[in-house]
Structure 1
Amino acid sequence: MTRIAPWRAALVGVCLAAMTATSAWAGPSGTLTRLVTRFEALGGGDQDDDSGGAAEGRWRLPDVTRTADAARLAKLKAIEAELTAMGEAGLSSQETLTRELLLWTVKDRIEAAGFDESRMPFSSDGGFDVMMLYRASGLRLKDEAEARRWIALLTRMPDWYAVNIDNARRGVRAGFVQAVPTAQAVLERAQRIAATPLADDPLLAPLRALPASVPEARRAALIAEGETVVTAKVAPARAGFARFMADEYVPHAASSLAASDLPDGKRYYAFLARRHTTTALTPDQIHDIGQAEVARIRARMQEAMKAAGFQGDLPAFIAMLRQDPRFYATSRQQLLEKASEIAKRADDQLPAHFGVLPRLTYGVRPVPASIEKGYTTGRYFGGDPKVGRAGGLMINTSELDQRPLYELPALVLHEGAPGHHIQTSLAQEQTGAPDFRKSLYFTAFGEGWGLYSEWLGEEMGIYRDPYELFGRLSYEMWRACRLVADTGIHWKHWSLDQARACFTDNTALSPVNIEVELKRYISWPGQALAYKVGELKILELRRRAEQALGARFDERAFHEAVLLDGSLPLAVLERRIDAWIAERRR
């Protein structure tokens, strides 16, 4: 999973990086250029780059007031009308794509605005309350001036908390609230963050890491100033949020797990399914796809089990994997080092499969201790060469007996390279494209590519024994079960036990991982549908190209055709790959 935080589900398919008021892009069409500039000038509303933000976005907090939302919506509707009126006549191929992606994005944001999602500003996996912790983890302050801008931003955090709490109160009044398990998880997180000792506060880490070019006395003074702000301003805001959750939100949390039981919930969940998959698939159709994939993958898992020489049945094999200590790291550092070793083996194979690679590098880092409890097992944080920040493959190093090593290769390939790091970095490095296209993220494309990258690991020779191959298949089964569980919970009103059964019966995921994931699906409806739907489409297009081109099929060229235009809705990707196939056949 890449850097999009689940509480910002409305941002799928929109620009993630903080936008500037003007765009460096200018196409031959003056009308399109002006519309792109107007869109980028809107900023992202509640958007934020978890890993540190773009150059100027680092020093701003998103404006999530109702007034700002209404103003953005009016401007989006005006842009939509003008984009529709201008048509495609006279546009170049890339301008046509830019217009299509901009129109798709604007329409998506307008439809999402009708559900007023800002009333639900947190999930079990993220929220406004941890946004600045994420930003701090990727921030590198280069001088005293930047340190002062960071401190100034910290002083504005009480207002940020206040407006988000006000939005959540609107949700409480309307019944547009998270379910009880999510509300309880957010309360516990808020209490942990409020109790963070000053010496361990991640918000102060960028100040403590100031470079030696800042004189020692000035560094000490800046750290002291930051500590004062955190103590006097941030800490009371955090405590107030914990009280709000305990006194006002948890008592009114939804008793039903299903998003379809929210006000206008059936229409809302159907919209989320369309948004995250970028298809017209209904929840029932997606559920059926998931069940078919579960049956197919289970057969391959049986084959991998036999290759390992295991004599029992699949449940016994999974039980053995969960309990055998040889499959688990014994220290946090060992887990990080193992992930790093896998990442370098993958790097060694990349040129054989990719003709174009990004300039940006990435590193392997631990998930910050302050948020690791209840956090997903791994995630990618995007980098930015303009501010000197590499991409980050974040590994959760807590609860080591729940982090099996046989799953680690698939995780590294998905979150690192050739997965999210390659896809998002190549998109970021596009030339001749406007800024909004460089940071677009359609979930089905991005997560579908991540899951495709796990599949590609077999061709790359990354899985070195039947156990690691089984780990990959277990991860694929995980994504198939997501189709079943997400639609089961939110559309078919399944209980938590019904949803859990697919994972416990068919995957080797650890119990902790299963519970964290179930909480995520409850609190982030629809997002989990994107992975399998996207991967199946990319594999379908690859097989179509292989069949059509035969010996002329070039895997590296295929990957370029998929990636070099950035993130795309699946229908747009399919059309462009079909055109690529036709061109290669000439």
Structure 2
Amino acid sequence: MTHHLRFMLAPLAAAVALACAPLGHAAEHAVTPAVQATQAVPATTPAAVHKQLLALADRYYQATARFEPIGATENGDNRFDDQLGLSIAPANRAKQFALYHQYRKQLAAIPRAQLDRGDRINYDILAFELHGLLAMERFPEHLLPINQMDSVPVMLANYAGGEASQPIGTVAQYDAYLSRVSQLPAWIDQAIANMREGMRKGVTQPKAIMVSALPQFQKLVSATPETNIYYTPITKLPATFADADKQRLTAAYRSTVADKVMPALARLATFLEKEYIPACRTTTGLGKLPDGMAWYQARVANQTTTSLNPEQIHAIGLREVATIQHEFELLGPKLGYTGPASGLPVWVAQQDKFRPFKTEEEVQAVYHKLNDVLDTKLPQLFTLVPKAKLDLRLEPELSRATASDHYTAPAGDGSRPGVFWSVVNDPTKYGSTGMTTLFLHEGKPGHHFHIALMQELNLPDFRKYGGNNAYTEGWALYAETLGKEMGLFDDPAQYFGHLNDALLRAVRLVVDTGMHAKGWTREQSIQYMHDTLGYDEVAKSETERYMAWPAQALGYRIGMLKIVELRQRAAAALGDKFSLPKFHEAVLGDGTLPLALLEQKIDNWIASQKQAQQQAQH
């Protein structure tokens, strides 16, 4: 997301948190007799153990999807589209953590040794996820329900056009969306109550990001129900609907929006402006909140799926920045630039030749051509590819002003393809240098080869609709690097675009850890981004993104560096018998893994390849 991957609701403390500590290291909590009574009886046969694990995995997924139904929708599971969930209510939160403790106890009772290879992966990932979720139990994330990057009211508003993750095209889908909207006032009132408690406890958002967020909530307030964004579906009622349905839906939407939703939106906007923002903290990082350093470390573990600490990640970031700036020094002259490396991005941004477009169609034509070129080059690098097609579409006008280029997953039932959405607000200002890298990341072989393939593997729902940012974004960043060996970066302008994106991801490692663990201020981060990246337009918005989503931006580069490291390890170990398509198959073949499990898997794969080589020699 940026390149947003909308499919992953990373900031929600929901079903996708992962951590790399072993299962037994989390603090144990007393289990009530009621919980013990539901403890599964140990199974005996491998088939029974398999069944037991899948039943537990299914209970876990159903519970997380009902707890965060918007997370399920974002991840391509539309079965819960009529539910909003109230995960921020303290009582619901307590019940959910009690379930997680129960599931972990049940998982520990399943004899892992009796599972086959695929089920051992499911077991290990479920253990990781439960550990990561329970690591968050002590931290009051529910007291921070709103920021400028995501909140339930804004996400629900983004669905109103029917073009996003929640489809609104059939009568049933219209009813589902209305059901969600009708649950919004209760969510808003709970959010206000939580923020008031946060104000009392000194757990508030930084003032700067709430000042940035306020206009979003003021815009949701409308003069009439008909001009309210949540009424949008009624302005698009399909002509094919029966008149009775049209009349019923129109009346229901109007009364829900007018009587329930509009007053709640007004309450929220007034509360934020008059009470919350004046009470917000003037500090920047999560580390400044009570128990904040431990809170940040838990988020780092969940977002990177490693045991790296903020100091180590900060050092990696500084090293990466230096490496990429050295590449800039070598590249500048090839583009006709002779100044200092840090000035290259600004210089490129000023060159008209890198903004060659007059129409949206011209932008799309470049992506279509690139797609065709990749169809000829990717077969040399990949034997495992998804069956689902990739569509190239322009972001709809409704969401264009606020969207980033992104990918949406194919429907689980195959009814819609994967889509690469390009956001073209003004074609004459659309820069051409980043297009190859962007398509490799959001299209193929990035998110499409990973996420579409995930849907075709026979995985339990918690894996099919879950995952983690470190692998998901790490793979997409690794996919960008393949442009070099496919000859797509022989054009220095496209290689600049690749390096420029890489530099932003490296800078994130520095400023995220800087703000949340090392005491950097928002202004220090903006200054560092300005000095290092050489341009202003992202420094403020990106800094505030990292303030709102502590550690979320760390997974990208950390994940990519791990995949590159594993590839180098495999190539060194296997020598001239190393097969890149087979390596890619090993990385992608079991779907999303925490990085620690991926490393274990690739090490095992290297060992099995060596063994096969030795057997072939005898």
- The alignment's TM-score, normalised by the length of structure 2, stands at 0.85
Contact 1:6 1:126 in 2 (8 A): no
Deviation at 1:396, TM superposition (A): 3.9
Q: Which amino acid in the other structure matches residue 104 of structure 2?
A: E
Deviation at 1:302, TM superposition (A): 1.7
**CA separation in 1, counterparts of 2:478 and 2:413?**
29
State the Cα deviation string for residues 120-178 of structure 1 (Å, max 9, x = none). Answer: 12232211121213444323345323323332332222223222333333322222221
Between 1:3-12 and 1:297-306, the stretch displaced more is: 3-12
Question: Structure 1's 11 and 78: CA in aligned 2 closer, same or farther, altered over 3 A?
Answer: closer
SS at match of 1:386: coil
**CA separation in 1, counterparts of 2:239 and 2:380?**
41
**CA separation in 1, counterparts of 2:52 and 2:364?**
50
**CA separation in 2, counterparts of 1:370 and 1:167?**
31
Tell me the equivalent position of 2:63.
Answer: 42
Deviation at 1:460, TM superposition (A): 2.8
Q: Which amino acid in the other structure matches residue 310 of structure 1?
A: Y
State the Cα deviation string for residues 213-270 of structure 1 (Å, max 9, x = none). Answer: 4347854764564345334433332222211211222111121101100111011111
Tell me the equivalent position of 1:21.
Answer: none
Tell me the equivalent position of 1:62.
Answer: 85
**CA separation in 1, counterparts of 2:464 and 2:507?**
31
Q: Which of 394, 397, 406 does residue 424 from structure 2 map onto?
A: 397
Deviation at 1:485, TM superposition (A): 0.7
Q: Which amino acid in the other structure matches residue 596 of structure 2?
A: A
Tell me the equivalent position of 1:522.
Answer: 547
Question: Structure 1's 305 and 199: CA in aligned 2 closer, same or farther, altered over 3 A?
Answer: farther
Between 1:544-553 and 1:143-152, the stretch displaced more is: 143-152
State the Cα deviation string for residues 448-473 of structure 1 (Å, max 9, x = none). Answer: 11111111122233335211111100
The structure whose Rg is larger is: 2
Question: Structure 1's 412 and 493: CA in aligned 2 closer, same or farther, altered over 3 A?
Answer: same
Deviation at 1:532, TM superposition (A): 1.2
Q: In the alignment, does 2:515 pair up with 1:489?
A: yes
Question: Structure 1's 298 and 351: CA in aligned 2 closer, same or farther, altered over 3 A?
Answer: same
Q: Which of 504, 512, 535 does residue 478 from structure 1 map onto?
A: 504
Between 1:527-536 and 1:494-503, the stretch displaced more is: 494-503
Tell me the equivalent position of 2:487.
Answer: 461
Tell me the equivalent position of 1:29.
Answer: 50
Tell me the equivalent position of 1:359.
Answer: 387
Tell me the equivalent position of 1:18.
Answer: none
Contact 2:15 2:466 in 1 (8 A): no
Question: Structure 1's 441 and 402: CA in aligned 2 closer, same or farther, altered over 3 A?
Answer: farther
Question: Structure 1's 210 and 543: CA in aligned 2 closer, same or farther, altered over 3 A?
Answer: farther
Between 1:380-389 and 1:219-228, the stretch displaced more is: 219-228
SS at match of 1:512: coil
Q: Which of 298, 304, 316 does residue 277 from structure 1 map onto?
A: 304
Tell me the equivalent position of 1:554.
Answer: 579
Tell me the equivalent position of 2:144.
Answer: 120
Contact 1:358 1:429 in 2 (8 A): yes
Q: Which amino acid in the other structure matches residue 406 of structure 2?
A: R
**CA separation in 2, counterparts of 1:462 and 1:223?**
52
Q: Which of 219, 232, 235 does residue 262 from structure 2 map onto?
A: 235
State the Cα deviation string for residues 336-364 of structure 1 (Å, max 9, x = none). Answer: 55445544544553333222222333444
Question: Structure 1's 399 and 434: CA in aligned 2 closer, same or farther, altered over 3 A?
Answer: same
Tell me the equivalent position of 1:92.
Answer: 116
**CA separation in 2, counterparts of 1:376 and 1:503?**
22
Q: In the alignment, does 2:567 pair up with 1:542?
A: yes
Contact 1:8 1:121 in 2 (8 A): no
Tell me the equivalent position of 2:40.
Answer: none
Deviation at 1:372, TM superposition (A): 5.3
State the Cα deviation string for residues 177-236 of structure 1 (Å, max 9, x = none). Answer: 211111111112111232498677654555555555434785476456434533443333
Q: Which amino acid in the other structure matches residue 583 of structure 1?
A: S
Q: Which of 111, 120, 130 does residue 135 from structure 2 map onto?
A: 111
Question: Structure 1's 542 and 568: CA in aligned 2 closer, same or farther, altered over 3 A?
Answer: same
Deviation at 1:110, TM superposition (A): 1.1
Q: In the alignment, does 2:601 pair up with 1:576?
A: yes
Q: Which amino acid in the other structure matches residue 17 of structure 2?
A: G
Between 1:73-82 and 1:300-309, the stretch displaced more is: 300-309
Contact 2:318 2:510 in 1 (8 A): yes
Q: In the alignment, does 2:284 pair up with 1:262?
A: no
Q: Which amino acid in the other structure matches residue 383 of structure 2?
A: G
Question: Structure 1's 366 and 124: CA in aligned 2 closer, same or farther, altered over 3 A?
Answer: farther
Q: In the alignment, does 2:154 pair up with 1:130?
A: yes
SS at match of 2:406: strand
SS at match of 1:566: coil
Unmatched runs of 5 consecutive residues or more in structure 1: 15-25
Between 1:341-350 and 1:35-44, the stretch displaced more is: 341-350
Question: Structure 1's 400 and 523: CA in aligned 2 closer, same or farther, altered over 3 A?
Answer: farther
**CA separation in 1, counterparts of 2:522 and 2:353?**
31
Q: Which of 506, 510, 530 does residue 532 from structure 2 map onto?
A: 506
Between 1:216-225 and 1:242-251, the stretch displaced more is: 216-225
Between 1:98-107 and 1:28-37, the stretch displaced more is: 28-37
Contact 2:53 2:123 in 1 (8 A): yes
**CA separation in 1, counterparts of 2:286 and 2:427?**
33
Between 1:331-340 and 1:447-456, the stretch displaced more is: 331-340
- The alignment's TM-score, normalised by the length of structure 1, stands at 0.89
Deviation at 1:494, TM superposition (A): 1.4
Q: Which amino acid in the other structure matches residue 474 of structure 1?
A: N
**CA separation in 2, counterparts of 1:446 and 1:218?**
41
**CA separation in 1, counterparts of 2:445 and 2:179?**
38
Contact 2:303 2:469 in 1 (8 A): yes
Q: In the alignment, does 2:102 pair up with 1:78?
A: yes
